[in-house]
Chain A
Amino acid sequence: MTALKLVDVHKNFGSSRIINGVNLEVPKGERHAIIGPNGAGKSTLFNLISGFYKVSRGYIELNGHAITDLPPHRINRRGLSRSFQVTNIFPKMTVFENVRSALLWPMGYRYSFWHMCDRLKKVNRKTEEILEKINLADRRHIPAAMLAYAEQRALEIGITIAGDTDVILLDEPTAGMSKSETARAVELIRNVTEGKTLIIVEHDMSVVFDLADRISVLVYGKVVATDLPDNIRKNAQVQEAYLGKEVA
């Protein structure tokens, strides 16, 4: 089964063409990394998949259904969630509220103004579970803006996985982290995406080769290779385009 499928996807802003015909198929349950040099269009690709930008040409399928022109909230409701490269949380709300608000829609409370959040036992229990998973349980009452950077990144992941969607997009989750923080973040990602389809954009090659089942290389808005990590490492085209002498 294919979780996510991109067919000949194009995106241009005016005359500058950022994505030039991307084809990609990610099977269910795979951890798929997208790598590429700066400006290759990785974040743009995420914005297209999640509905933040509209595609100029081509189409995108999620679990066999077209999502090409849907707005972000509808794509999310169909089972895709994402994190952001720049930390994107609800700064004035507490850590607990941040995670809980991500649970309300998927658990069926939607726009309700007749339920009391504090009485929704299942929602609150699930919130606690996620806080445990992302190691922020003892920070629950702090406004999210006051968290340390690495904690905010963890919260970002917490919000992203809270809804239990089966396709998860993570945009540079370890950017700006120290080595030990990165190691913990990788462990966390591996943990919370168990049994799910993960698509991850990442600059840190050790993270990529550690996590990914398969890797796609994006150069100038095109996928130049999709393969197993070992083959990507050996691929001459990839080395020339991106990895350079770092790996060789």
Chain B
Amino acid sequence: MKHYLKQFGIWFAAVIFCIVLPLIFNSGFSRSMLSQMGIAVIFALSYNMMLGQGGMLSFGHAVYYGLGGFLAMHALNWVGDGWPLPLELVPLMGGLGGVVAGLVFGWLSTDRAGTTFALISLGIGELIAASALMLPSFFGGEEGVSANRMVDTTLTSFRFGQQIEVYYLIVAWMLVCIALMYLQTKTPLGRVANAVRDNPERAAFIGYNARVVRTLQFTLAAFFAGIAGGLFAINYEIINAETVGAIPSGNVLMMTYIGGVGYFFGPILGAVLVTLMQLTLAGITHAWLLYFGLLFVGMILWAPGGLAGLIMMHEPVWKAGLMSRLLRAYAIIAVPALVLFLGLMTLIEINYHLSLSVNPDEPMSLFGISFRAQSIAPWLVSLCLIGIGFFFFRKAQRVVRRSWNEVAQQMKGAAIQ
């Protein structure tokens, strides 16, 4: 019993967490946000099957997401016309679409990894996005394809009229997909994908055709991307050519990087955080893309392991019971970091107001303070905040570094004893 609890405890916890979540955050907005997160988690994990596991950097992963979504949308219409496929299984049609497209384009693009693969993926992405507008019978032209998810054939008693029912469908698929993708990393193909990622030349001399390994890994990733697309179709009941385009392709790349490619759970964090930012920040500020970009660049520069890397960096410290030492240093650096950020933010918002608002002469407001963007005071304040914040941030950095050194010393000492 204890053994099973240890092995599956985290999965039980995840299931309960996902069931309870929409009951706590019960507004329509948060439920639809949670649904989007679930879809994004599958999509980002499937992306990492290629990038993290297989070493393939793709700029066109939305092709499989989108094509799966379109096929599922058509399937949904067919179900409405009397096809005997229960709604809960419609995402499988999305997966099927992903597999077919993945096999074809995977074989075409995986002869080499690296730059060659990345550029081909970009080309295929553009190709599909362009042909989406040329083939209106499948892609529905400008207005896209829509369907009604309230069909008669279902496996459960859900009618899917309410968002929470759709959420539970998404979450069920998400948990199944997470489990399958996790198990896949432990299969021969998953391991050999790592070998091909690390050293394709050597992999050939242990009997593997690197191209076949990459194609299979690619196809499985496309399957899960297609399932995410199928859930997208059910969630929104409308899909258009944008779904196969560069924007979702770039998005999933950023989610995965921000979450961290080195650990299986990294993309989950990235998908949740990025979806949250996209949906909430966009309502707060027009400049949200700029903040998002800053976060992305900052992560790539200073935390290339992503959120997961940052967390796992602390694991040995946590185990050694030395976390409090670091937390103190983090608290110290948080203050100037916040000041620096406030200064930057004020500067950005003033500039946005001046150049992009309808009437720049109108006063703007930040944190409930109303002021005119043309007056000199807010500029001075923001520059002061940046200066002071930066100065003390540099000082606090030394504190953090010193704490890390101390902690490392102590752990080393403990290891020797």
Contacts and interface: CB of A to CB of B under 8 A. Distances in A.
Nearest to A98: B195
Contacts of B335: none
Contact of B206 (A92, A101, A118): A101
B392 interface: no
A163 B206 contact: yes
Contact of B192 (A76, A101, A116): A101
A222 B251 CA distance: 57
A192 to B, nearest CB: 16
A88 B199 CA distance: 8
Contact of B216 (A72, A100, A113): A113
B199 A101 contact: no
A112 B189 contact: yes
Interface residues of A, number: 37
A76 B207 contact: yes
B190 interface: yes
Contacts of B380: none
A111 B190 CA distance: 9
B280 interface: no
Interface string A29-52: 000000000000000000000101
Contacts of A71: 204, 209
B209 A101 contact: no
Given A73-B209, A81-B205, A112 B188 contact: yes
Given A50-B205, A72-B204, A73-B204, A104 B191 contact: yes
Of the candidates B190, B198, B199, B206, the one having the most CB atoms from chain A within 10 angstroms of its own CB is B206
Contacts of B362: none
A104 B183 CA distance: 17
Interface of A is mostly: loop
A93 B189 contact: no
Interface in B218-260: 220
A50 B197 CA distance: 21
A89 to B, nearest CB: 7
Interface in B192-219: 192, 194-195, 197-199, 201-210, 212-213, 216
A109 interface: yes
B186 interface: yes
B184 interface: yes
Contacts of B197: 92
B187 A115 contact: yes
A240 B230 CA distance: 74
A106 B189 CA distance: 14
Nearest to A88: B202
B188 A91 contact: no
Contacts of B189: 111-113
B191 A92 contact: no
Interface string A92-130: 110001001110111001111111111000000000000
A77 B207 contact: yes
Nearest to A144: B198
B212 to A, nearest CB: 6
Contacts of B190: 113, 117
Contacts of A109: 188
For the complex of A and B, 5 pairs with smallest distance between CB atoms: A105-B207, A72-B204, A90-B198, A113-B189, A102-B206
Interface of B: 183-184, 186-192, 194-195, 197-199, 201-210, 212-213, 216, 220
21 contacts: A71-B209, A72-B205, A73-B204, A76-B207, A77-B207, A89-B202, A90-B195, A90-B199, A92-B194, A92-B198, A93-B191, A93-B195, A97-B194, A101-B192, A101-B195, A102-B206, A111-B216, A113-B189, A115-B188, A116-B187, A162-B206
Given A71-B204, A163-B207, 18 more contacts: A52-B201, A73-B203, A73-B207, A73-B208, A73-B210, A81-B206, A84-B202, A89-B199, A90-B198, A93-B195, A101-B195, A104-B192, A104-B206, A105-B206, A109-B188, A111-B212, A113-B216, A162-B206
